[in-house]
Amino acid sequence: MAIRTIREIGDPVLNKVAKEVTEITPRIRDLIDDMVETMYEANGVGLAAPQVGILKRIVVIDVTGEDLLVLINPRIVETSGEQTGNEGCLSVPGKTGIVTRPNYVKVVAQNEDMETIELEGTELLARAFCHEIEHLDGHLYVEKVEGDLMNTADLEDDEDEE
Ligand code: NI
């Protein structure tokens, strides 16, 4: 496993559409391992492959620190409700902004054995599903921020970054 460099806003790879994963190769397994290590090392709650410069539809999420999710080719199939709160991104270091997201999200994806899985999340997990899946289509949360992007240093509490 290895820590990969996290690409930052302004890097064109973050605005490209990632490609479907059709088979799990040793290279893909290495990528997933590295994404997990890179996310934890950066104290993030989620990371999408384009953030380490790879245009594949893979995301890793862990919103509790003990519940790792690896999603391949994820897509949102159902949403409901609404939540408004602070969001951050490892590709936009030191910043945070207010974004409104659904409060409930259902996702269909493949796991590391290419089996189809269905996952549901509310609150922070629902937010992470939306945020990470948007990375796969070349979008960053800053496009959706209500009001100004703020410096995390100006807030009292540290925010989780995705
Ligand atoms: Ni992000």
- Distance from Cα 139 to the centre of ligand 1, integer Å: 9
Q: Per residue in 112-156, pLDDT tens?
A: 999 999 999 999 999 999 999 999 999 999 999 999 999 998 876
- Distance from Cα 141 to the centre of ligand 1, integer Å: 7
- Distance from Cα 7 to the centre of ligand 1, integer Å: 10
Domain spans of the chain? 12-161
Q: Where are the beta strands (DSSP E) in the chain?
A: 46-48, 58-61, 69-80, 83-87, 95-101, 104-110, 116-122, 146-151
Look up the pTM and report it. 0.94
Q: Which residues contact 154 (CB under 8 A, 6 or more apart)?
A: none
Q: Per residue in 52-64, pLDDT tens?
A: 999 999 999 999 9
Residue 161 above 90 pLDDT?
Answer: no
Report the pLDDT value the prediction gives residue 155, as an integer from 0 to 100.
74
- Distance from Cα 89 to the centre of ligand 1, integer Å: 4
Q: Which two tokens stand for residue 22?
A: 């059709």
Q: Domain 12-161 in CATH: superfamily?
A: Peptide deformylase (3.90.45.10)
Selected catalytic residue, list 37, 66, 112, 132: 132
Q: Is 132 a catalytic residue?
A: yes
